[in-house]
Amino acid sequence: MGEDVVPFNRPYATGRELGYIQEAIDVSETAAGGPFARRCEAWLADHHGSAAALLTHSGTGALELAALLAGVGPGDEVIMPSFTYTTTASAFALRGAVPVFVDVREDTLRIDADLVAGAITPRTKAVVPVHYAGAAVDMDPLLELAREHGLMVIEDAAHALPSDYRGRPLGSLGHLGALSFHETKNLTCGEGGALLVNDESLAKRARVLFDKGTDRARFLRGEVDRYTWRDVGSSFAASEISAAYLWAQIESVDEITASRRAVWDTYHAAFAALEDDGRLRRPSMGTDGAHNAHLYGLQVTGPPGRDEVIDALAARGVQAVFHYVPLHLSEAGRRHARAHGDLAVSERVSGRLVRLPLWAHMPAAPVQRVIRAVHEALGAEAPATARP
């Protein structure tokens, strides 16, 4: 047997998660809205300067709540990249709205105001920038465009805690922002998410929709003597078990981010020469803010092609994965959405992208093994530090 496989992801636990879950059990608080959930929400609202932060069962739940709050319905259009995760689009399609896919920039793999501007029609109601890989969409021109056209801005910041755009935390710039705490994200509680409500005028209704369409929050504050059905809504909240787990992660956010950045920076330095040789393209994170090292995705310019590289890495015990079949090419994308113009970059990048193993506190040995394997897979000589 050779060495163990270097997994793509290894969810990081701080060691305090179980103790906090035990605390929640000890005080008989296991449903939504308990002390850990309030702590997480207070931290998230404070970090982002949001009017409210609502802890949800998933990032998808946060996007679905955002779509409900945006009030979009049949015939309304919502502009977003095709190069994103399924639920960026399905959250709006679920309301009968039409996702309108635009291409992403060749350099950053993110949308910008120029790409969005051409897709605006009288039916456009909202735009959903996705902060891919935890680095910022160029938000100022996009926010200006949205203001001019009266569009709601809903940030898909699922990758992006705690990254920023010119000093402003991602997720805090649009009317609404969605975060994810899925196992694959930087901070996790298995499954979880949050909706950041940045537009104060949406906060009251957000709370009611989040509370299954009731005014339970006002009842708990003693403002009404019973709570009743006030609006549409659903069960969006995370349980206190998840919140307890997440609180341990939030407490360690700086340490988690720093350790991921160290791995990311090591990869980036190690692949500079391969980029100079024209064998691959390293990720371009832009200069608009600090990124959280959510993922390291390199584009192989081949030959060898993307699948051959992934297979060659697998043969060396390194689990690498591709990213995003563009949504406009998917079965449901064709049925529920439409593409605006030519999405050539999304299609090309999807065929080239290889994401490398990266997790918090990933030790030096597997990092060097990945670096060595990438060089071998591309037929290049590995740098001295990465030689066996």
Q: Closest separation between CB of residue 213 and ligand PLP, Å?
A: 21
Q: Which residues pair with 165 in a beta bridge?
A: 168
Sequence-distant contacts of 204-207: CB under 8 A, at least 24 apart: 205/69, 205/231, 206/52, 206/54, 206/65, 206/69, 207/52, 207/54
Q: Which is nearer to ligand PLP, 59 or 99 (CB)?
A: 59
Q: Between 163 and 180, whose beta carbon lies closer to ligand PLP?
A: 180
CB neighbour list of residue 299: distance below 8 Å, 6 or more residues apart: 280, 281, 349, 352, 353, 354
Residues 6+ apart with CB under 8 A from 125: 70, 71, 72, 76, 77, 78, 97, 151, 152
- Judged by CB, which is closer to ligand PLP: 20, or 85? 85
User: Which residues lie near ligand PLP (CB under 6 A)?
Assistant: 58-60, 84-85, 87-88, 130, 156, 158-159, 180, 182, 193
How many Cα atoms within 13 Å fall on the side-chain side of residue 363? 4
For ligand PLP, give the closer residue by CB, 66 or 373: 66
Closest contact distance (angstroms) between CB of 113 and ligand PLP is 20
Question: In degrees rounded to 5, what are phi and psi of residue 164?
Answer: -140, 165
Please state the closest distance from residue 15 (CB atom) to ligand PLP, in A: 23
Least distance from ligand PLP to the Cβ atom of residue 22, Å: 25
The closest residue (CB) to ligand PLP is: 59
**Measured from the CB atom, is 130 or 135 closer to ligand PLP?**
130
Q: How far is the CB of 78 from ligand PLP (least distance, A)?
A: 14
Structure tokens at 10: 């290894």
